[in-house]
Amino acid sequence: MIAFAIGIILFSIDLLIVWYLLNGAIYVPTAMPAVHRMVKCTNAGPGKTCADIGSGDGRLVIEMAKKGAVAHGYENNPLLVWKSRRKIQQEGLQDRAFIHFKSFWNVDFSQFDAITVFGITHIMKRLWRKCQRELKPGALIVSNAFQFANVEPIAKDDGIYVYQK
């Protein structure tokens, strides 16, 4: 009976991993030094609206909100959504930091001045097309580690790539 329960749990974990690989990237938290560099590259501040797509534990959303921006995170892992929302509440940032339990693929990017992403290679081409269709002129896309193919960044900072529409 115990072996059966363990088998079901392992099978469920395997399915979850496959689902995440097909829908984006597995959660790997961005190191705080990179978070600070990314937030600086977004020009987050009062009057800005920013988003972190695949927001994980909310660390980028929280840091952008601390700079005064209205910051939105999009995450499809319910445990990370819960953790992020809890951290936002603990920081007292509920008025300008928001985590949505939603795939960013179903979000209109036109409201954002900057987008941050720690994606994975296989989503970058599709993501670039979405950004080009939806972001307003001058909007920034800040990527940790992964570059857009055949697109020259306007700035680079130790594995952080900044693009502008």
pTM: 0.85
pLDDT the model gives residue 26: 76
For a pLDDT cut of 90, what percent of the chain falls above it?
80
For the cut 60, the answer to whether the pLDDT of residue 144 exceeds it is yes
Helices of type H across the chain = 2-23, 32-42, 59-66, 78-91, 121-134
pLDDT band, residue 25 (cuts 50/70/90) = low
- The domains of the chain, with CATH numbers, are 27-164 (3.40.50.150)
- Three-state SS for 49? strand
Measured in degrees and rounded to the nearest 5, phi and psi for residue 9 equal: -65, -45
Confidence of residue 85 (pLDDT cuts 50, 70, 90): very high
pLDDT in tens, 114-141: 999 998 888 999 999 999 999 999 999 9
pLDDT surpasses 60 at 15:
no
- Looking up tokens 């990314």, which residue turns up? 38
pLDDT band at 11 (very low <50, low <70, confident <90, very high): low
For residues 122 and 29, what is the distance between their CA atoms, to the nearest angstrom? 19
Provide the pLDDT for residue 119: 85
Average pLDDT for 84-101: 98
